[in-house]
Amino acid sequence: MIRAIVVDDSAFMRKAISTMLQSDAGIEVVATARNGREGVELVAKHKPDVVTMDVEMPEMDGLTALRRIMAETPTHVIMISSLTTDGSHAALTAMKFGAADVFAKEASTISLNITKLQPELVERVKALAQAGKKRFASKAAPGSACVRADAPAFKPGQFDLLCIGSSTGGPPVLEQVLRAVPASFRGPVIAAQHMPEMFTRSMAERLGEQCGLPVKHVENGMPLAGGVIHICPGGKNTHIRRGAGGRMTLLCNQEPAGTLYKPSVDVLLSTAAAAAGARTLAIILTGMGDDGVRGARELHAKGGVILAQNEETCVVYGMPRAVVVENLAMAALPPAGLARSLSTLGAAQAAA
């Protein structure tokens, strides 16, 4: 049984989230709290598998409570954030403080959307709880022993395109990896992080202050420019299209129908394989599920290179595991190793 605690100053939201979670027979809400102070106390008392935490609360806000919990009784915390500019900035800050995931809410419509929101929230809670058990047991994923654990060295000018996909727990790792891409890197960089559009826009703004390359939030029809980091917008799929003269353009839409996560890493990698083939380097970071593995198969078949984040450093070892067990990844590395590979690649290109 997965044990959860719900922290929110709204009685309605506490009830709604508890109802969503307990609709699954495998989840029990062992306590609810009205503010961050109560949340910290209840987490210390019950030691739950997962906590859902509102951001704005009286007495002690969610960010302060999160830092206390991660310092005193570490566990998986999902921040429940509003779809506003302030809410998205707070959510990204929470990820840096140790939050495992962010779940977007619209309080005015959550009662109407509870059927739609419930499966997604339950899936995230179950994935995080399972990840905690796997990490505690220190079991390696099947096939991981066949993947090299040293940062590979690449040839000067080997790649024209760098694609990165991430989900649960991804933003802090994505920031660390992208910060390592040197200003001398000549190819375009594009990243797909599973988040709502308001959050991906805020993430692009934050990365623009941290990275050596300029950062753009992708818009439909935008050219895929060299020496620029492109952040795919949430709620849509981003396709890479190569046109006349070899120029690549980014198209954003809802196709193909039925994609579970948007932006889809599968769509990004599949279109990258068609547009740049063997001259593509892809990195799959932490995240639940297996988004990216189908696109990785196509990219691998074209001769592209795929790196994965290693199990020990993933919040949820789902997406990287999927490419590792199919022997699609050249190497499985911690974020520092991935960053080291990218920094070496940039230096090599600069010297070329």
Residues designated catalytic: 167, 194, 291
Nearest to residue 66, comparing CAs of 102, 105, 94, 45?
Answer: 94
Long-range pairs of 343-348 with CB within 8 A, sequence gap ≥ 24:
343/180, 343/181, 343/182, 344/151, 344/153, 344/154, 345/154, 345/158, 345/159, 345/185, 345/281, 346/181, 346/182, 346/183, 346/184, 346/185, 347/182, 347/184, 348/154, 348/155, 348/156, 348/157
* Whether the Cβ atoms of residue 221 and residue 230 lie closer than 8 Å to each other: no
At 208, list the tokens. 């623009």
Is the Cα dihedral 256, 92, 67, 62 positive or negative?
negative
Nearest to residue 226, comparing CAs of 291, 174, 161, 181?
Answer: 161
Nearest to residue 304, comparing CAs of 336, 282, 319?
Answer: 282
Beta partners for residue 8, in sequence order? none
Amino acid at 222: M
